[in-house]
């Protein structure tokens, strides 16, 4: 077996300002396998990947590739050795063409008129060939930004494949893909596996992990929990391995099925915007959790943006607490008691260099205006309260939010809105890229807020979450609402409705 | 404050630079620190530096806020010229001898002229703000328009001439003394204090930082990010206008062609020397004032130690280059690496 080991790490240790991010971790990756790396946020997955790919040097331990010791000093060095990585956030240049992105830094050259010139035509041909391997046929001369994220992800993989890779590392490659796209990616991965590529795959999605991987390595608190064959580790055992304790199931909706009665808090009728969302009817009552089910591109996020005034509607009407309103910017929506946790936490949510305290106070302060200033002392009181209530893990409240893990950043954004005492919260993918335990905590928090009378519009691409927490489910497809289902419907019922709407 | 906190304080390096420059001056020019009390005024090199740094500090304060919102305003030099031209034109002034008594007469009341100049300057800033926040232009391009056009406007106003002001009360702004110190220093200090209070006693500082760090998130959190951006540019124009008044009062004239020439670059330099990153977000008003003082001290130093005029720009550039390097934590770490060689085979 040992001859099949492509990449092996022994006793990897990495410390960040005194914190052990990796502590004596052993890891091996075999030829022709898809190996899943699992663990909660902060378990050390990212650090391990970054050590493997030369972003950080290891403080101790050794790395071997095909039996030879390697010391990649940079991602470029790792790539030359044959270790290619596709990161969670697409690390490409949106203002370059697809072909340029694939070959950035390694443009093919040709000799013409005595000079070395870039061989554009060869670059395009090669780019098309690489993408064809991924079953993607697109115009490679167009700007990357003109394609959806899913395509950009494929381009990132094509770029990783373009360098004779022996090892392909995928860090959360599916977090912005819809189901068909995931399936397409998996087809590609299976094909690569068949060709003998060693693939390391990091994901938060259990189903996908079980669908594609052969073996699983679990990390917890920077330490190796174990390496398992997929068959050895059913989901319950995996969660236990990741969390280190048994997880209680999320509080079910049944507890709270009686809450949502009375007049609508928010009511949208024929509400839409050309090219973004076909007119929809949506209503929410106090204490009600309304889930939005639908695939990527079904208009879920567009609905949230319109309701919150991020984009302007051009049809229909909107009523909040019986009053006809029109939101031209989020500030107006906030004044009517709305709040929104956006889909792209990093780009629309956190203010990276500001402290946890300032991030929590921001929306409340915006609502109070410039003159009614919350003094740092007052901000601290508010922040302390929510850090405690939501279990936000941070060294202290003056730590810049960028230093927190994804789950804790999301809790801060949630706290920012709770501080404004909203009547209605729009949560767009609040649990994306967050580990299981934090997910559970956030879901439980949402449910208990709803019990307290908050109306919640819950958008998630994880259908099991949607059916578990919602009182009602608005089902969307192709930028339209195709129907509504009661909260205790099965996932299959939702998918059925999506499919039936054709 | 502990020693460690002091070493990490963001104003440490600008402050150290200023102290070093002052020390160099004291060595080359023994009379540097001498102050003289004459006619109820303080005179001396240090006072002179303070007085001359005041207009730059004013412009740099406005620039700081613009840079904090991720922007830049390269039109401030032109706005200085416009404000100076408006004030000089409206005041003009002549010496009239009435019944054997000399009196100064201005074309418009001085307060009206000053107000008009400030309004025009604020209007220039508003224009920049609208281009950036409403039209969505890149700040450097948006303000480039006024940088070029503004100087043309100033020259149109002055008819291509240098307009001389003969109305003595106007000279107080740039030449007068209050409590023994130049009046311009009080103007700059007052603007600084007001800004400081706005940033620490109201939410404005938090808002400006949030907008500079992540405008999309700031908007989503309910900030009127466009309005605030427009206000910041307007204030930057206004501050440049005040500087223009001080400068024209100081030289008792307005020169559409040269007033405020290259001042935008000095202002950006002052902001940067003060430790505010051009990428926006966290900013330091005190740092920018220190930066303005560093630049003015450097200029005075170059003259006082007798650097030949033809190479003084090069010397200035070299000093700025070294100061910028010293402020970079990465560079300091690298220098430490060269000086203190890690022991071979040392601890892992």
Residue A275 burial by CB count (10 A; 0-12/13-18/19+): exposed, middle or buried?
exposed
State pTM to two decimals: 0.74
Confidence of residue B65 (pLDDT cuts 50, 70, 90): very high
Look at strands A424-428 and A338-341 and give their pairing.
Answer: parallel
Q: Report pLDDT for A89.
A: 63
Q: In this structure, is the dihedral angle defined by the CA atoms of residues B124, B126, B129 and B130, taken in order, positive or negative?
A: negative
Q: Among all residues of chain A, which has the CA nearest to that of B279?
A: A353
Q: Report pLDDT for A261.
A: 67
Cβ pair B213:A352 closer than 8 A: yes
Q: Which candidate, A20, A74, A23, places its Cα nearest to that of A52? A: A74
Beta bridge partners of A200: A35, A169
Cβ(A482)–Cβ(A452) under 8 Å?
no
Within 10 angstroms of residue B343's Cβ, the number of other Cβ atoms is: 7
Q: Which candidate, A199, A213, A201, A191, places its Cα nearest to that of A167? A: A199
Cβ(A303)–Cβ(A288) under 8 Å?
no
Distance from the A320 Cα atom to the nearest Cα atom in chain B, whole angstroms: 18
Average pLDDT over residues B203-218: 93
Radius of gyration for the alpha carbons in chain A, expressed in angstroms and rounded = 24
Q: Report pLDDT for A217.
A: 93
Cβ pair B221:A310 closer than 8 A: no
Q: Report pLDDT for A254.
A: 45
Q: What is the DSSP string of A240-271?
A: HHHHSSPPPPPPPGGGGTTS--SSEEEEEEEE
- Taking the C-alpha atoms of residue B112 and residue A227, their distance in angstroms, rounded to an integer, is 81
Q: Which two tokens stand for residue B329?
A: 């934590």
Q: How far apart are the first and last CA of chain B?
A: 34
Residues in Cβ contact with A485 at an 8 Å cutoff, skipping those fewer than 6 apart:
A293, A472, A473, A475, A493, A494, A497
Residues in Cβ contact with B257 at an 8 Å cutoff, skipping those fewer than 6 apart:
B81, B151, B154, B155, B160
Cβ(A361)–Cβ(A381) under 8 Å?
no
pLDDT at A256 over 50: no
- Taking the C-alpha atoms of residue B345 and residue A57, their distance in angstroms, rounded to an integer, is 17
Cβ pair B203:A353 closer than 8 A: no
**Greater pLDDT, A360 or A276:** A360
- The H or E element spanning position B85 is helix B76-91
Confidence of residue A496 (pLDDT cuts 50, 70, 90): confident
Which spans in A112-178 are helix H? 120-133, 149-161
Which residues from A are below 8 Å from B224, CB to CB?
A: 329, 331
B284-298 CB burial, b ≥16 within 10 A, e <16: bbbbbbbbbbbbbbb
Q: Among all residues of chain B, which has the CA nearest to that of A353?
A: B213
- Domains of chain A, start order: 2-82+164-243 (3.40.50.300)
Which residues from B are below 8 Å from A340, CB to CB?
A: 220
Q: Which candidate, B142, B150, B127, places its Cα nearest to that of B72? A: B142
Residue A314 burial by CB count (10 A; 0-12/13-18/19+): exposed, middle or buried?
middle
Q: In what order do the strands lie in the sheet with A424-428?
A: A338-341, A424-428, A455-459, A289-293, A472-477, A480-486
Distance from the A74 Cα atom to the nearest Cα atom in chain B, whole angstroms: 18
Residue B43 burial by CB count (10 A; 0-12/13-18/19+): exposed, middle or buried?
middle
pLDDT at A41 over 80: no
Which residues from B are below 8 Å from A308, CB to CB?
A: 220
**Cα dihedral A129/A135/A141/A142 (nearest 10):** -170
pLDDT at A218 over 80: yes
Radius of gyration for the alpha carbons in chain B, expressed in angstroms and rounded = 22
Cβ(A282)–Cβ(A473) under 8 Å?
no
Average pLDDT over residues B48-75: 94
DSSP B346: -
Assess B227–A contact: CB distance below 8 Å, yes or no: no
Distance from the A179 Cα atom to the nearest Cα atom in chain B, whole angstroms: 29
Assess B38–A contact: CB distance below 8 Å, yes or no: no
Average pLDDT over residues A371-379: 91
Task: Indicate the range of A22-31, A64-73, B214-223, B297-306 predicted with least confidence.
Answer: B297-306
φ, ψ dihedrals at B287, nearest 5°: -60, -45
Distance from the A168 Cα atom to the nearest Cα atom in chain B, whole angstroms: 30
Task: Indicate the range of A265-274, B101-110, B189-198, B214-223 predicted with least confidence.
Answer: B101-110
**Greater pLDDT, A2 or A273:** A273
Q: What is the DSSP string of A343-375?
A: S-IIIII--TTSBHHHHHHHHHHHHH-SSS---
Cβ pair B203:A310 closer than 8 A: no
Which residues from B are below 8 Å from A361, CB to CB?
A: 206
Cβ(B154)–Cβ(B81) under 8 Å?
yes
What ipTM was estimated for this complex? 0.82
């Amino acid at each position: 077996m040992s001859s099949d080991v492509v990449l092996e790490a022994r006793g990897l240790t990495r410390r960040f300002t005194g914190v052990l991010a990796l502590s004596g971790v052993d890891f091996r990756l075999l030829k022709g396998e898809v190996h899943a790396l699992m663990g909660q946020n902060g378990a050390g997955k990212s650090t391990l990947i970054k050590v493997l790919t030369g972003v950080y040097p290891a403080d101790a331990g050794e790395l071997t590739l095909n039996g030879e010791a390697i010391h990649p000093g940079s991602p470029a060095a790792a790539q030359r050795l044959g270790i290619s990585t596709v990161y969670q956030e697409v690390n490409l240049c949106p203002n370059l063409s697809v072909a340029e992105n694939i070959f950035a830094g390694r443009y093919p050259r040709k000799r013409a008129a005595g000079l070395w010139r870039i061989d554009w035509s060869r670059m395009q041909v090669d780019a098309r060939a690489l993408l064809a391997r991924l079953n993607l046929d697109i115009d490679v001369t167009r700007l990357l930004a003109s394609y959806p994220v899913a395509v950009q992800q494929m381009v990132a993989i094509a770029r990783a494949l373009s360098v004779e890779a022996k090892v392909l590392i995928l860090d959360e490659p599916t977090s912005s893909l819809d189901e068909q796209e995931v399936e397409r990616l998996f087809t590609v991965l299976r094909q690569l596996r068949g060709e003998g590529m060693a693939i390391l795959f990091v994901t938060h999605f259990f189903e996908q992990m079980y669908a594609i991987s052969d073996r699983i390595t679990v990390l917890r608190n920077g330490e190796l929990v174990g390496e398992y064959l997929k068959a050895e580790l059913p989901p319950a055992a995996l969660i236990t391995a990741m969390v280190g304790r048994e997880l209680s199931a999320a509080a079910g909706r049944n507890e709270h099925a009686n809450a949502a009665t009375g007049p609508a808090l928010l009511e949208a009728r024929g509400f839409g915007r050309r090219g973004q969302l076909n007119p929809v009817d949506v209503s929410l009552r106090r204490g009600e959790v309304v889930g939005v089910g639908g695939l990527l591109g079904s208009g879920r996020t567009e609905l949230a943006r319109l309701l919150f005034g991020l984009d302007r509607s051009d049809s229909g009407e909107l009523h909040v607490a019986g009053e006809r309103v029109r939101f031209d910017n989020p500030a107006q929506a906030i004044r009517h008691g709305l709040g929104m946790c956006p889909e792209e936490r990093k780009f629309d949510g956190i203010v990276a260099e500001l402290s946890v305290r300032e991030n929590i106070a921001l929306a409340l302060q915006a609502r109070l205006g410039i003159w009614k200033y919350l003094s740092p002392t007052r901000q601290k009181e508010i922040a302390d309260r929510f850090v405690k209530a939501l279990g936000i893990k941070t060294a202290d409240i003056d730590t810049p939010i960028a230093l927190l893990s994804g789950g804790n950043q999301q809790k801060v954004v949630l706290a920012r809105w709770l501080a404004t005492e909203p009547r209605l919260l729009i949560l767009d993918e609040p649990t994306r890229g967050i580990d299981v335990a934090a997910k559970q905590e956030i879901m439980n928090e949402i449910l208990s807020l709803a019990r307290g009378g908050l109306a919640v519009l819950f958008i998630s691409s994880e259908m099991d979450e949607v059916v578990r927490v919602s009182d009602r489910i608005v089902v969307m497809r192709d930028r339209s609402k195709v129907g509504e289902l009661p909260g205790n419907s099965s996932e299959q019922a939702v998918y059925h409705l999506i499919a039936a709407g054709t | 404050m502990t020693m460690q906190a002091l070493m990490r304080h963001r104003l440490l390096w600008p402050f150290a630079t200023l102290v070093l420059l002052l020390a160099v001056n004291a060595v080359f020019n023994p009379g540097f620190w001498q102050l003289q009390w004459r006619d109820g005024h303080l005179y001396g090199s240090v006072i002179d530096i303070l007085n001359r740094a005041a207009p730059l500090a004013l412009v740099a304060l406005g620039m700081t806020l613009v840079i904090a919102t991720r922007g830049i305003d390269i039109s401030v030099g032109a706005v200085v010229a416009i404000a100076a031209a408006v004030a000089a034109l409206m005041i003009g002034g002549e010496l009239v001898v009435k019944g054997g008594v000399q009196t100064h007469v201005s074309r418009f009341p001085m307060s009206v002229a000053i107000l008009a100049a400030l309004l025009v300057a604020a209007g220039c800033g508003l224009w920049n703000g609208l281009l950036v926040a409403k039209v969505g232009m890149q700040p450097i391009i948006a303000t480039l328009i006024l940088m070029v056009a503004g100087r043309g406007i100033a020259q149109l106003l002055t008819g291509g001439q240098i307009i001389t002001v003969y109305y003595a009360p106007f000279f107080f702004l740039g030449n007068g003394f209050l409590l023994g110190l130049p009046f311009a220093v009080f103007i700059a200090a007052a603007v600084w204090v007001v800004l400081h209070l706005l940033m620490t006693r109201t939410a404005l500082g938090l808002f400006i930082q949030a907008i500079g760090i992540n405008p999309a998130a700031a908007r989503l959190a309910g900030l009127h990010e466009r309005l605030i951006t427009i206000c910041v540019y307007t204030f930057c124009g206004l501050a440049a206008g005040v500087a223009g008044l001080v400068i024209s009062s100081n030289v008792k004239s307005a020169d559409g062609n040269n007033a405020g020439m290259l001042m935008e670059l000095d202002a950006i330099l002052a902001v940067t020397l003060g430790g505010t990153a051009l990428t926006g977000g966290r900013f330091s008003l005190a740092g920018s004032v220190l930066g303005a003082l560093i630049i003015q001290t450097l200029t005075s130093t170059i003259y006082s130690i007798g650097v030949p005029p033809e190479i003084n720009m090069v010397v200035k550039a070299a000093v700025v280059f070294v100061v910028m390097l010293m402020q970079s934590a990465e560079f300091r770490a690298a220098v430490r690496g060269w000086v203190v060689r890690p022991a071979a085979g040392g601890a892992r």
